[in-house]
């Protein structure tokens, strides 16, 4: 094709820049908020949105039946991640908020809140500086599909939703031992988590609603509503068994909230296959290359080809081959770098194997301009 009519090439640095700086996700989130809030003047809204820069702070919802450990895990996560712990109780006790005051009054009378009031309360709290900067962990809310839809409509989107699960019999039994520290709301258990300090032991109180009958009733209500709540979070939800020691539940929850979800951003795969000899790297690379149209880059093959072609690299490598010596890392790196920056690799992506073989080589690979992303 004549160079004047050939399609324009996108300079490879452009997609690379987008990938490294998560531009696609940033724009996608901003667009989402713009469409939800539909501000009269979108420009200042967008500027404020980007200045807040809180796309990556924890935004976690913890759900589960009564006594599954929601509050315990939410509080531990909040301490560990330094994010704001939010529960119905502490949302209502917020000072200087007319919404919170209305909620308190309503709750005292009815022992529940109208969904709209609850959701407004959450929205007000999440818009405050500490939640914006440090992120938030919502304990046991939303409980119904109606609440879920209202929360979604306000543009509140959790990045991670954890659902704790355990058999009802375990939970009924467990709830009987629940104790609460009235000073700070910390949760303890007579068998599983008893504080060593006498001072704390003496001030613990037995919370309301933990009898067998009450827990069983709350469990029934939970099972009825949760089936309509969970499908609302298909991509962000993880179920964790709560029928195991608290610490194990916590670490599974922590690992999950620290992972980022697969993004929809377009990207060029740069795949590195690692594995011991005989593990099938060559075959898998060939299959991946075929399926996804990637360039198959075998480090060993590249070295051999360079020698066979008598290329400038080949001439440098040849003496090492003749003496049966390992080719120095710097030469391999140059060879790889020149291959991976060729147009086909940049455009189609690649799958590579045979390098790195040790930590030094791995560090070198890390300095490459187009390093692996898978």
Ligand X SMILES: Nc1ncnc2c1ncn2[C@@H]1O[C@H](COP(=O)(O)OP(=O)(O)O)[C@@H](O)[C@H]1O
Residue of 57, 67, 131, 335 that binds ligand X (CB under 6 A)? 67
Site membership for ligand X, residue 332 (CB under 6 A): no
DSSP H or E stretch at residue 240: strand 237-241
Lay out the site mask for ligand X across 214-243 (x = CB under 6 A, - = otherwise): ----------------------------x-
- Residue least distant from ligand X (Cβ): 69
Residue 261 C-beta: closest distance to ligand X, Å:
25
Lay out the site mask for ligand X across 90-109 (x = CB under 6 A, - = otherwise): --------------------
- Choice between 166 and 365, CB closer to ligand X: 166
Residue 247 C-beta: closest distance to ligand X, Å:
8
Q: Are strands 187-189 and 178-180 parallel, antiparallel or unpaired?
A: antiparallel
Strand partners, 352: 272, 297
Site membership for ligand X, residue 19 (CB under 6 A): no
Residue 180 C-beta: closest distance to ligand X, Å:
8
Residue 218 C-beta: closest distance to ligand X, Å:
9
Q: How many residues bind ligand X (CB under 6 A)?
A: 21
Secondary structure, 3-state, 225-236: HHHHHHHHCCCC
Site membership for ligand X, residue 163 (CB under 6 A): no
Residue of 15, 64, 158, 356 that binds ligand X (CB under 6 A)? 64
Task: Identify whether the C-beta of residue 215 lies closer than 8 Å to the C-beta of residue 67.
Answer: yes
- Choice between 69 and 354, CB closer to ligand X: 69
Residue 38 C-beta: closest distance to ligand X, Å:
36
Which has the closest alpha carbon to 171: 215, 141, 135, 107?
Answer: 215
Which pair of tokens denotes residue 75? 């509080």
Site membership for ligand X, residue 147 (CB under 6 A): no
Which has the closest alpha carbon to 329: 368, 296, 356?
Answer: 356
**Alpha-carbon gap, residue 103 to 321, rounded angstroms:** 79
Residue of 131, 249, 307, 340 that binds ligand X (CB under 6 A)? 249
Residue 166 C-beta: closest distance to ligand X, Å:
8
Residue 121 C-beta: closest distance to ligand X, Å:
19
**Alpha-carbon gap, residue 156 to 232, rounded angstroms:** 13
Residue 293 C-beta: closest distance to ligand X, Å:
47
Strand partners, 238: 162
List the interface residues with ligand X, window 180-199 (CB under 6 A).
187-189, 192-193
Task: Identify whether the C-beta of residue 73 lies closer than 8 Å to the C-beta of residue 162.
Answer: yes
Distances (CA, A) of 158 to 78, 107, 136, 204, 233: 15, 26, 9, 33, 9
Task: Identify whether the C-beta of residue 349 lies closer than 8 Å to the C-beta of residue 292.
Answer: yes
Task: Identify whether the C-beta of residue 240 lies closer than 8 Å to the C-beta of residue 68.
Answer: no
Site membership for ligand X, residue 17 (CB under 6 A): no
Site membership for ligand X, residue 70 (CB under 6 A): yes
Residue of 15, 58, 66, 135 that binds ligand X (CB under 6 A)? 66
What is the DSSP code string of 321-360?
HHTT-PPPHHHHHHHHHHHHTSHHHHHH-EEEES---SHH
Site membership for ligand X, residue 365 (CB under 6 A): no
Which has the closest alpha carbon to 205: 177, 181, 172, 173?
Answer: 181
Site membership for ligand X, residue 174 (CB under 6 A): yes
Residue 270 C-beta: closest distance to ligand X, Å:
41
SS3 of residue 169 by DSSP:
helix
**Residues at the site binding ligand X, with contacts judged by CB under 6 A:** 64, 66-72, 174-175, 177-178, 187-189, 192-193, 242, 245-246, 249
């Amino acid at each position: 094709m004549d160079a004047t009519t050939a399609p324009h090439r996108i300079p490879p640095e452009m997609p690379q820049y987008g990938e490294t700086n998560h531009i696609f996700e940033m724009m996608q989130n901003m667009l989402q908020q713009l469409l939800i809030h539909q501000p009269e003047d979108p420009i200042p809204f967008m500027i404020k949105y980007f200045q807040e820069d809180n796309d990556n702070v924890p935004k976690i919802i913890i759900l589960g039946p009564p006594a599954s450990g929601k509050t315990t895990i939410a509080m531990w996560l909040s301490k560990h991640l330094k994010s704001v712990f939010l529960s119905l109780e502490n949302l209502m006790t917020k000072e200087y908020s007319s919404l919170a005051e209305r909620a308190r009054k309503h709750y005292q009378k009815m022992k529940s809140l109208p969904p709209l009031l609850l959701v407004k309360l959450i929205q007000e709290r999440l818009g405050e500086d500490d939640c914006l900067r440090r992120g938030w962990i919502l304990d046991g809310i939303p409980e119904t599909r109606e609440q879920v839809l209202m929360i979604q409509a306000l543009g509140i989107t959790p990045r991670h939703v954890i659902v704790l699960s355990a058999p009802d019999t375990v939970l009924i039994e467990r709830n009987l031992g629940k104790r609460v520290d009235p000073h700070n709301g910390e949760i303890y258990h007579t068998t599983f988590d008893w504080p060593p300090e006498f001072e704390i032991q003496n001030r613990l109180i037995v919370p309301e609603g933990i009898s067998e009958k009450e827990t069983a009733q709350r469990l029934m209500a939970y099972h009825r509503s949760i089936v309509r709540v969970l499908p609302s979070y298909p991509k962000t939800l993880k179920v964790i068994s709560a029928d195991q020691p608290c610490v194990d539940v916590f670490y599974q929850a922590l690992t999950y909230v620290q992972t980022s979800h697969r993004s929809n951003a377009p990207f060029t795969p740069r795949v590195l296959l690692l594995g011991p000899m005989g593990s099938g790297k060559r075959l898998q690379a060939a299959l991946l290359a075929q399926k996804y149209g990637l360039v198959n880059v075998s480090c060993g093959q590249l070295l051999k080809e360079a020698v066979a072609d008598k290329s400038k690299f080949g001439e440098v490598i040849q003496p090492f081959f003749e003496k049966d010596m390992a080719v120095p890392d710097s030469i391999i790196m140059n060879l790889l770098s020149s291959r991976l920056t060729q147009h086909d690799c940049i455009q189609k992506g690649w799958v590579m194997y045979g390098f790195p073989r040790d930590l030094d080589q791995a560090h070198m690979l890390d300095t490459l301009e187009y390093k692996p992303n898978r």
